[in-house]
Each structure stands twice: as C-alpha cells, then as structure tokens.
C-alpha cells in the first residue's frame, strides 16, 4: 500500500485501474490472434462490428447497465468480458493492500499477462510470443528491482528451470512417442513465470498446473473437449501453435496461468507454509 494516500482512495484507484486493464485484456485477447491492431479501430461489437460509444464501454458498469447485451444490435456480450474486468479489479485491490507498490505492480502485470494468455490459448490453442518473449526480460528486471522476495539470482534460475524443464520433457516425449507432447508456447510461458516468480514459482506452477491440467483433461474426456480452435490469420507471426501437455484434450496454458497467478498472489503465505512457519 502506498504511503501518504488514504487506504480507501488508493484501494478505489487500484480497483478502477484493474477493471480498466481487464477491459484492455479483453481487447488484446480478441484482436491479437486475428492480427488486428490493438490501437485502431476503436472498440467495436464482435457481432455487428459497429463502434461502441465511450459510455457503453465503461468497465464492469457498462456490462451491468446493458444487461450483458450490445447497445446497438442487442447481441449477447460474452460473460468472460465482465469476468476479466471484475477479476483483475479484485486482483489489483488485493495486491494494493498486500504488497509494496512496486512489488504489487509487477505482480499485477504478470497476472494481466497470464489472463490474456489464458483467453487466447483457450480459444486458439495459441500462446503469443508477443507476450511471453518480452515477458521474460521484463520479469527479470521486475524481480531484480521491484520484487525483493525473488531477486535477480532466483529469477534467472527460474527462467532456466521453467523453460528448460518443459523443453527437455517435450524433447523426451517426442523421442519416445514420435510426436509433440509439449507446445513451445507452454515452454516460453513457464520461462516467463520463472522470470517473475523465481525457481519456487516455476516449480509450484509446474506442479500445480500439471495437477489442474490432468483434472481438466479427465473432465474433458468425460464430458466433451473444448471446441476446435479457428484458423487465425497472422497466427504464425504472433505466437506458438500449442499442443496440450502430453496430448491432453484441453490446452495446458490456462492451467499453468492459473497456478502461476495463485503463486503470484500468495507467494509469502505459500513459502511460509512450505517452510513450516
């Protein structure tokens, strides 16, 4: 929490900032795989393609006020638009009261990136290099200067461990089975997580993400898998085509992202619990 600012005011700003970033995350998740500029044109309805007025695009409030429907054509707005805005607003609020300002901001940046990756990967089986590649050096810088619980040494080890373990696992699987089992998108994603959260975060993400992914794969096999991804124009330039972990029925990226986000929010508690304190 920032010194010299009333708690309620700082919390309100954090909530509004998080909601605004959530709106931007929705925009990036829709446009990036389709090779549409994130700057121009202005926000438009995904159904009728008409531009959305500013007041009808206010995070959280617009969805509630319009009852989840487009102002112009009445088409249903996906619930996940609201969930992204509200979730990142709550995450920003929690981080504001739980970490020093710089540390909180770095963790929020990671959570926003993870949210974006999850939405894209679920829809397209694609983890954008445009997020993970710059995310690795950004994570190292953040860990070095803003995140004292991580630091430069643990960040670099986290990159090597996160990237290296999944890469070696994928190569071994290909050697044994003759087909790809781990997408390079997952490899770069875990490398980015290690950069921000260190080797402890990379290990936790791999372990917890694997459990979540296994459960998700079983549920998908029992009740039907996720829909087939569409073909994205420009996808080859924006990301790595992703294969689910060891050929499960669902993309692995969202499960890694969920585990990494949980560690980012509760790292001090998890480390103390593991050490018995």
Q: What is the DSSP string of 90-137?
A: HHHHHHHHHS-HHHHHHHHHHHHHHHHHHHHHHHHSEEEHHHHHHHHH
Q: What is the pTM of this model?
A: 0.90
Please give the pLDDT value at position 109.
Answer: 99
Give the integer Cα–Cα distance in Å for 196 and 261. Answer: 11
Choose among 224, 124, 137, 246: nearest CA to 188: 137
Grouping H, G, I as helix, E, B as strand and the rest as coil, residue 242 is coil
- Helix 129-145, helix 151-177: angle, nearest 10: 150
Please give the pLDDT value at position 49.
Answer: 87
Beta bridge partners of 128: 239
Output the average pLDDT for the chain: 89
pLDDT digits (tens, 9 = 90+) for 143-156: 999 999 999 999 99
pLDDT digits (tens, 9 = 90+) for 161-200: 999 999 998 888 888 887 776 789 999 999 999 999 999 9
Phi/psi of residue 32, nearest 5 degrees = -60, -50
Please give the pLDDT value at position 225.
Answer: 57
Return the C-alpha torsion angle 243, 248, 253, 259, nearest 10: -150
Q: Name the band, by pLDDT with cuts 50, 70 and 90, for residue 276.
A: low
Please give the pLDDT value at position 245.
Answer: 47
């Amino acid at each position: 929490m920032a010194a010299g600012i009333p708690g309620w005011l700082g919390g309100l700003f954090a909530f509004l900032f998080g909601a605004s970033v959530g709106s931007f995350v929705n925009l990036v998740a829709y446009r990036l795989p389709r090779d549409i500029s994130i700057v121009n044109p202005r926000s438009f309805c995904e159904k009728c393609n008409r531009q959305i007025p500013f007041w009808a695009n206010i995070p959280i409030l617009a969805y509630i006020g319009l009852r989840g429907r487009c102002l112009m054509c009445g088409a249903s707005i996906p619930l996940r638009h609201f969930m992204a805005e509200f979730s990142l607003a709550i995450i920003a609020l929690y981080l504001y009261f739980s970490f020093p300002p710089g540390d909180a901001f770095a963790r929020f940046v990671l959570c926003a990136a993870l949210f974006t990756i999850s939405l894209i990967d679920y829809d397209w089986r694609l983890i954008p290099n445009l997020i993970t590649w710059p995310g690795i050096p950004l994570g190292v810088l953040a860990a070095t200067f803003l995140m004292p619980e991580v630091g430069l040494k643990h960040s670099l080890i986290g990159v090597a461990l996160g990237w290296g373990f999944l890469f070696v696992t994928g190569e071994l699987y290909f050697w044994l089975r003759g087909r790809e089992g781990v997408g390079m998108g997952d490899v770069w994603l875990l490398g980015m997580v290690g950069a921000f959260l260190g080797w402890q975060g990379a290990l936790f993400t791999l372990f917890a993400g694997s459990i979540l992914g296994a459960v998700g794969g079983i549920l998908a096999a029992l009740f039907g898998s996720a829909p087939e991804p569409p073909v994205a124009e420009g996808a080859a330039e924006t990301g790595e085509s992703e294969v689910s972990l060891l050929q499960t029925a669902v993309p692995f990226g969202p499960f890694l992202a969920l585990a990494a986000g949980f560690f980012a929010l509760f790292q001090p508690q998890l480390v103390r619990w593991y050490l018995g304190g």
